[in-house]
Amino acid sequence: MLSKNSHVSRTLFAILAITGLLVVVLQSAGAQNNQPQSGTTPRHVRVIWRTAPATEAIVAWTTSEQGTSHKVEYAAGDETEWHSVESVDTQQFDGQVKRGTAPYVHSAQLAELTPATKYRVRCLSDEETSREYYFYTAPDDKRPIALIYGGDSRSGWGERMAMNRMMANMVAEQSKAGRPEIVALAHGGDFIVNGTDLPQWLTWLEHCEQTTGTDGRLLPIVPARGNHDMGPIFNQLFAFPKESENYYAGNLSGNVRLATLNTETVTGGEQREWLADELAEHRWDTTWYLAQYHKPAFPAVKIPSGALPNWVPLFDQYKIDLACEADGHVIKRTSPLRNGKIDAEGVVYIGEGGLGVGQRTPKTGRWFLQETAEHCGSDHHLHLITFYDDRMEVRVITMAGEVFDEFTLKPHQQD
């Protein structure tokens, strides 16, 4: 007869064995995917948005071998004539892979595009051509649009893949139902665990392909750097110049502007000056102004980052609408905050990363979370933000596809 203790330990062992098996299965699934196919077959095709998403897009892809000639071909709508961009930046990824040499990353800038237009696109490396994909440029008018915001896809590969598949489904469903189009994914950083580990990035790229629809629709990405995304691979993979500090801003429509900031470099100094100039020049160009960055100014778990002293006074002064934060691994919504107090005219801070990583418990006793405690929680999630002329609707969608939280914001008025 089993004693109670041995029964407990057998049960524990069974759980550990199943968990271990699952980890091995998931890791080997990832490991198989760590190398692009041989030769110059284009893989990991993606669109990256920077400062002018209505008229410009970066198309990037990966090949195993360097190749000698690379180009992107694109055509608007059902145009039969393909345009070609032959100015392609090719670099070998920094870092090591277990077998063979590190793969190559290619990127090309498409410019002078027409806003709110479907572009078919394919990548060519030597004799190899990718499948035909497509994406939409951002509108430059005030039509309603939607944006997915999320962060912290760094671990929990099964959950990461589930969230990616959910994004692709959401994009397709939203479009089919005639609801405002989801224009992009804004990612608040911590894509992977160790930013200098190339196989982790290659696995992330493999998983990122699941955000692409079965019909080839690419979801443009607007990336922010997280503390785990250290090292040169981040800039290579997202086609930033080598020395880029990764802060920039662009319009997602004629009505929505998004600033991406970087908490992983000096938050004061030049970055603060850049933000002050950016807000002075562009804050009131659009009804809605958002910021995204990794480490929170108003954290639900950890301590405030440099965003609090360096950026929040500017957010307050220019009355931005929403600050999208990550890093804490919880579902968070603050009260509207201004000048260190709860204020109906203030900025709402959301977050904090649920695209894969294990979730923590939010500290809802903090003054900026006390009134919103019931809207905070612990679950894998993303934010679906829909912008209309007169309101912004924010929904937190969990991995199970359920709405955990939803709220509406009215536009701020210029003082």
Interaction site with Fe ion (CB under 5 A) = 190, 226-227, 327
Q: Which residue number, 190 or 405, has a Cβ lying nearer to Fe ion? A: 190
Which of residues 340 and 358 has its CB atom nearest to Fe ion in the complex? 358
Q: What's the DSSP call for residue 20?
A: H
- Please enumerate, as own/partner, the contacts of 314-319 that have beta carbons within 8 Å and a separation of 24 or more: 314/272, 314/275, 314/276, 314/279, 315/291, 315/347, 316/346, 316/347, 317/279, 318/279, 318/280, 318/283, 318/289, 319/283, 319/345, 319/347, 319/412, 319/413, 319/414, 319/415
- Of all residues in the shown chain, the one whose CB is closest to Fe ion is 327
In the complex, the smallest distance separating the C-beta of residue 261 from Fe ion, rounded to whole angstroms, is 14
Phi, then psi, of 184 in degrees rounded to 5: -165, 170
DSSP codes of every residue in 96-111:
--SSS---EEEEEEE-
338 or 360: CB nearest Fe ion: 360
Neighbouring-strand partners of residue 188: none
Instruction: Please name the amino acid found at residue 139.
Output: P
CB 47, min distance to Fe ion, A:
25
Q: Which of residues 102 and 186 has its CB atom nearest to Fe ion in the complex?
A: 186
Residue with Cβ nearer Fe ion (105 or 357): 357
Closest distance to Fe ion from the beta carbon of 170 (Å)? 24
Query: Rounded to the nearest whole angstrom, what is the least distance from the CB of residue 157 to Fe ion in the complex?
Result: 17
Q: Which is nearer to Fe ion, 67 or 226 (by Cβ)?
A: 226
Shortest separation between residue 151's beta carbon and Fe ion, angstroms: 8
Q: Which amino acid is at 50?
A: R
Name the nearest CA neighbour of 38 among 77, 79, 74, 67: 67
The enclosing H or E element of 203 equals helix 198-208
Q: How far is the CB of 303 from Fe ion (least distance, A)?
A: 13
